[in-house]
Amino acid sequence: MCSLKVWVLLFLLSGRYKKLIEAWRATKPPPRTPEEAARLVIQTLKGHKKADVEVIHAYNKDEGLLAFYGLLLPHNPIEVTHGHGVPASLPEGVKFELHTLPVDAKAVPDGDTITVYVSTTNPRESTCVPGDVKMAAGQRAKARAERNYEKADAMHKKIIDSGYRVLNIQNEEVLARKYRIRLRGIDAPESSMPYGKEAKEELVKHVQGKCLRVLIYDQDRYGRCVGDIYCNGLFMQEIMLKKGLAWHYTAYDKRPELASWEKQARAKRVGLWASKNPQEPWEWRKNKREGR
């Protein structure tokens, strides 16, 4: 057992955690996130030296007690510029703009990808709905009215296979087109990587049940639309970078503000930057492809 772990074990056996256990039991509701748990540790053990709690300089100055137990160091709330960069007109390079229907939490697989739907009543969408999709939607509606749900389901499958879906929005059925969006300029940890779960949860927290404004610039090799996402005046890429839950993807985006937001998160050691050597998602994917 390394010296650091021996030190921590002695700290535990000394009985100094009795009041921490009591505080945990008394907290209603109990801490639900790593940051909340870390804050409780700091507050409860405030009689000890801060260095003992946050950064134990016992043969390894970069590994602290909180990090040892997988907890994040608590920081002040991240300041996000409300309305940052929300353009009044389409910026140069934008191919088209989307105004989505409310986002379902299940449509967010990770911290940099969202599946969205746009109503076909939208002027841009209404002109390009395939004829077979319109026909299937009409046949589905008729089958449901006749309570022929087997046929209705078959028609809906045909609609879905064509890249559309019938959604129930406020008790009204809406035919909508599906788009997979890749957040432009950032790369979040993959789901199975450290902080992958936190990145996904952060994105879900902001977009769930919300209508988004998406500016599409390009399409990637997987058929996803690459774009900037705004929700209630907030720029999602700014939030993910400032909270330390994504890298600035410099290979594809050179915007200085994105670089600045990542630099701020690194300096504060928030999110994945609390780790000593976080692995870049693109390197992780490369290693996985090569079977390392």
User: What is the sign of the dihedral through the CA atoms of 117, 121, 125 and 129?
Assistant: positive
* 7, 61, 101, 169, 199 from 172: Cα distances, Å: 62, 59, 12, 5, 32
Is the Cα dihedral 20, 22, 28, 33 positive or negative?
positive
180 SS3 class: strand
Number of residues that make up the chain: 292
Annotated active-site residue 190? The verdict is: yes
Q: Is 32 a catalytic residue?
A: no
- Catalytic residue from among 39, 140, 177, 182: 182
Helix ranges (H only) for the chain are 3-13, 18-26, 34-44, 50-54, 65-68, 123-126, 131-145, 149-161, 196-207, 236-242, 256-268, 281-289
Q: Determine the Cα–Cα distance for residues 89 and 66; give it in Å rounded to an integer.
A: 46
Annotation marks residue 182 as catalytic: yes
Of the residues 144, 165, 224, 266, which is catalytic?
224
Q: Which of 125, 126, 151, 123 is nearest to 138 (CA)?
A: 151
Q: Which residues are catalytic?
A: 182, 190, 224
